[in-house]
Every structure is written in structure tokens, then in C-alpha cells.
């Protein structure tokens, strides 16, 4: 059962990683998000406000910020209206840091799930290190 859960995590994160990689090629429109209020969530607060593109051609009201801003403050944020995971569909803008690191986090999570599964398989004896690798390791340790 544990392998099923770990495998499910790996598949979900790998799928998200591929989607985020594809979406990263979509154009980003930069603008300024200004918080109007904070919506309480299970994990704290979600900033809701108005986002205006830098060229003043697009205004999004009552939109959520993926990131942090001082109460009532403003922050530079990106809006990606096209793509598989569309900001237009999700009604969200992303702080600068999240726009740059977001696609990489899903790859890290996917690799962590795969490594977690392999570590558990080794710990529980379902996988073993090939003898040639053990032999090479011992040879290397004794030569140093």
C-alpha cells in the first residue's frame, strides 16, 4: 500500500512538472497587484486585490495573489492567461519569486517522491544494490 501512495505522489508531481514546464513557455504579462483584503483560509490568509498590467491595458479585480504582500500593500506580479493551468481560469496572479521558482518545485517534489520510494524499497529489502556496485564501492574506499 505504501508503494501505491508513493507512486501516486510521484505520478501527480511528474504530471504537474510536465504541465508547468509546458506552461512556462506561455507569455507572462507583468503588472502590479494591490491587496484589498485578506481572505481567511485553513493555513492563514490569502491576499485578494486588484492587478493592473504595466501597460495599463488589463485590470483584474478580486484576484488572488500567489505570494505575500504587506497588508494593503502592492507588489510586482505576473499573469499568465494562457496555458494548461491557466491563471485566467484560476483567477490568480503570481509574485515574482513564484513565477521563477514554481516550475522547478514540482520537479523537485517529483524527484523526492521517486527517491523516497527507492529508499523505502532498499530499507524494506525489496531492492538490493547490485553486487558490481558494492564491489566498486569497496574497491574505491580502500584505494582512498
Alpha-helical segments (H) within 1-144: 2-23, 87-90, 96-123, 131-143
Is 128 among the domain residues? no
Is 91 among the domain residues? yes
The tally of domains found in the chain comes to 1
Task: Specify the DSSP element, H or E, that contains 122.
Answer: helix 96-123
Residues comprising the chain, all counted: 144
Is 117 among the domain residues? no
Is 33 among the domain residues? yes
CA 14 to CA 114: how far, in whole Å?
Answer: 10
**Prediction pTM value:** 0.70
Is 135 among the domain residues? no
Is 40 among the domain residues? yes
Residue 60, class by beta-carbon neighbours within 10 Å (0-12 exposed, 13-18 middle, 19+ buried)?
buried
Say what the pLDDT of residue 138 is: 79
CA 59 to CA 64: how far, in whole Å?
Answer: 13
Is 139 among the domain residues? no
Question: Which domain covers residue 24, as residue numbers?
Answer: 2-111
Query: Mean pLDDT in runs of 10 for the chain (144 residues)?
Result: 90 93 91 95 90 97 94 95 88 88 88 92 81 75 74
Is 65 among the domain residues? yes
Summarize pLDDT for 109-137 with one digit per residue, the tens: 999 999 999 888 888 888 877 777 667 77
Amino acid at each position: 500500500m505504501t508503494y501505491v501512495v508513493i507512486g501516486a505522489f510521484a505520478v501527480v508531481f511528474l504530471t504537474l512538472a510536465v504541465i508547468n514546464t509546458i506552461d512556462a513557455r506561455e507569455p507572462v504579462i507583468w503588472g502590479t497587484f494591490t491587496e484589498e483584503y485578506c481572505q481567511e483560509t485553513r493555513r492563514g490568509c490569502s491576499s485578494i486585490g486588484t492587478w493592473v498590467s504595466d501597460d495599463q491595458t488589463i485590470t483584474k479585480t478580486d484576484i488572488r495573489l500567489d505570494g505575500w504582500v504587506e497588508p494593503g500593500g502592492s507588489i510586482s506580479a505576473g499573469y499568465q492567461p494562457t496555458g494548461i493551468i491557466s491563471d485566467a481560469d484560476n483567477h490568480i496572479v503570481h509574485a515574482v519569486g513564484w513565477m521563477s521558482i514554481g516550475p522547478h518545485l514540482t520537479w523537485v517534489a517529483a524527484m523526492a517522491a521517486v527517491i523516497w520510494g527507492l529508499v523505502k524499497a532498499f530499507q524494506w529489502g525489496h531492492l538490493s544494490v547490485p553486487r558490481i556496485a558494492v564491489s566498486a564501492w569497496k574497491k574505491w574506499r580502500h584505494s582512498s
